[in-house]
Chains A and B, each alone.
Chain A
Amino acid sequence: MDNENKDRILPAETSVTEEAKNYSSFRYAVGAILAFFGFSSKTHRASKKRAKLVADIFTYIVLLAGAFVMVYPFWWMIAGSFAYTIDGTGGSGLLEKMIWWPETSTLTIPTSGGGTKAELFFNYRTLFTSAFAASGLKVTYWRSLFNNLLYSTVPVVVGVITSASAAFAFSKINWIGRNVVFFMLLAAIMVPGPSLMITQYVMYSDMGWTENALVLIIPGMFGSIMTAFFIRQFLFGLPTSIIEAAKIDGAGYLRIFCQFILPLAMPAIMAQGLLSFMGCWNNYMGSFIYLSQNSKWINLPHAMYILNASPSSNLGVVIASSVMCVLPVIILFGCFQKLIIGSLMLTGSKE
């Protein structure tokens, strides 16, 4: 309380001193205004509290503006999915004009009698029923959704466990060749994926994996090097004495891994698993390169590409499918944001 009073009195005191008389009244006024906004000048010294308040307000304005830019396209996407875009020409004009809310919403679908009817989820209904077949796809929406779920759960769950086991071996077990293998894996990260695209494609099609879903399931099951490295960093933070104690009690490494390491490293494993789930869910390249357009195994982003590229595409339906593709990941991220952001922060501070 005392400090605050001092801060407040200070500018008044300094402005009354004799030096202040040397300044013109204009400069004096400017100084007063600057001090009000938290900037010290020769005539006035602003209080620290005021300076912090002004800076805070400025920060909030900047961050809110940024947050608006970040979130607005999502709002646009959701609002656009309720736009009625069939105007006979098949153009995107009706949807394009939208800023906050579509001009022609699905609440006013023209009927053959000349009136209007309301069907809020018209675009979604079209997407779930007829849109995929109309654009020449051999799969239904539900099938591609199932494929997407398959590709983003099975390889991710198995892959994260194999990555964690490798991380365990790297951080807690001494074995001959550990450093050599570690260096080999580190070097493998630097090989760019597109360079291997062609030979991988030829190899997988020779093995017959591109005719079914195996190509998008099996390679992921062998684990990811980056995930292993991250979990390894996390495991270094765990005390080795736990493992020593378990060893003395007669537990084998397999038991230690299942009963100690997996539960203890769960935050890191969960975070990495969720991140790879999101990556696999949004993975367009894999399905696009390896699977043919007529395959029954194509995933949702790939199906969305074909849906949009087909001449008969209705943009309202395309935007509805975008919402259906984005929504699950956003909800998942919302539920686990603390875990995911925490793990990302850990990666950031490690670098």
Chain B
Amino acid sequence: MEEIIAVGTDEAAMSAAEAVAESEGTVQTAPKKRKHHINQQKLWDNIWGWLFCLPLIIGTCWFIYSTLIMAFLLSFTTFRTGGQVSMWECLAHMGDYIAKDLTGATNAFYWYKALFTEKVSGMDRVTLIGMGIELNEMGAYLLNTVFYMIGIPIGMILSVFFAVCMSRDIKGGNVFRVLYYLPCVASAIAIVYTFKIMFGSTGVINQLFGLGNFHWISEGVEGAYTWQNLTGAPISTNAFMMDPYWCQGFFMKLVIVIMSVWKGLGGTIILYVAGLSGVNAATKEAAQIDGANGWIIFWKVTMPDLYPTIFYNIVTSVIGGMQIYAEPEMFMNSAYSGGNVMVSGYVALIYKYGINMKYASRGAAYGMFLAVIIFVLTLFQFWLDSRKKD
């Protein structure tokens, strides 16, 4: 009782003192005030920190995380766009819309199973069966995607070579950097149309290299393309080299690889030039004095220093390479018809089922599988990297 009173009086006394001090403007109360001020500062720090970050957080949660969760859930349902059920309703009553087998039995993983069992369909199937081939659809599209990745090592070697040339002490190195970067800023669709005509059967490339009437690109209109052999005649034989799937598609994919290497070179060159400028000059000089020639210096001094840049570049290129979609579609004019078994990348399947054929659930399942592939590939690369360091 006494204590309480004491405390009470103490507080009262203090507040009174404070009031007096405040009115008088003395320094006695300064420590207490500052403490109070710091707490307020921390509060403002938190409020403003969150406020400044809020748009980005909202955007990420709304457009990336929520759609990711919805895609994951949708991939187990039978949801179709343009149907009577909206996506929200389907997700709210997921139990009623779980994917079913052809027999009617519930099978949540039906679309994932279809991914592995679905054969190439439509006109391609007719042509392929005529040639005695039956292809797994996902396999064919994934094979195309992997084929485009041969551009990654080619582009890497070329860009390291050019970057080494540019980082020499020569005049006009900056001009070259700008010129090499031009294709990176150009619109992909404009580049595709230019390359398509340049690689035409009577085009520049055939004229310059004396390749005669070589058909790099199969010609056709949207949705229906003609199967031709390399001289342009319609095919009528099952001979292996006349097989358009392995042969003609091959050269067309090669053109796309050339184009993507050409288009991406400038960006990687700049990364490598930046990486090369960080190479330790002192180590280089020491190696030179010890009698190492340029070749040995490059492999033993420059490359180890450049390794982080190369690794970063490979990881991002593989992630980007798995998502290739627009270039092959523009080459074949097959974007609206939902891809082409000869050239389209895996993403074309997602578009084909999810948007073109309106099976959003199926497209979502295919998309989830792509995310898993990319995740595993990235993990694999980091595992290789960690093994190298040990």
| Interface residues of A, Cβ cutoff 8 Å to B | 55-56, 59-60, 62-63, 66-67, 69-71, 73-74, 76-77, 80, 92-93, 95-99, 162-163, 165-166, 168-170, 173-178, 181, 184-185, 188, 190-203, 205-206, 219, 221-223, 225, 228, 252-254, 257, 278, 281-282, 284-285, 288-289, 293, 301, 304-305, 308-309, 311, 315, 318-319, 321-323, 325-326, 329-330, 333-334, 337, 341, 344-349, 351
Contact = CB atoms under 8 A, between A and B. Distances in A.
Interface of B: 44-46, 48-53, 55-60, 62-65, 67-68, 70-71, 74, 81, 86-88, 161-162, 165-166, 168, 170, 174, 176-183, 185-191, 193-195, 197-198, 200-204, 207-208, 221-222, 262, 265-267, 270-275, 277-278, 308-309, 312, 319, 322-323, 325-326, 330, 333, 335-336, 347, 350-351, 354-355, 360, 363-364, 367-368, 370-371, 374-375, 378
B165 A62 contact: yes
B197 A325 contact: no
A348 B270 contact: yes
B64 A196 contact: yes
19 contacts: A56-B168, A92-B200, A166-B55, A169-B50, A173-B52, A195-B367, A197-B354, A198-B71, A200-B67, A202-B360, A282-B186, A284-B188, A304-B190, A315-B197, A325-B189, A341-B178, A344-B267, A348-B272, A349-B277
B312 A341 contact: no
Contacts of B57: 166, 181, 184-185
A15 B255 CA distance: 53
A199 B56 contact: no
A174 B266 contact: no
A76 B208 CA distance: 14
B contact face: mostly helix, strand, loop, or mixed: helix
Contact of B207 (A99, A169, A284): A99
A315 B198 CA distance: 12
B138 to A, nearest CB: 14
A178 B45 CA distance: 11
Contacts, number: 302
Chain A interface, >50% SS class: helix
Nearest to A200: B67
B60 A175 contact: no
A73 B198 contact: yes
B70 A323 contact: no
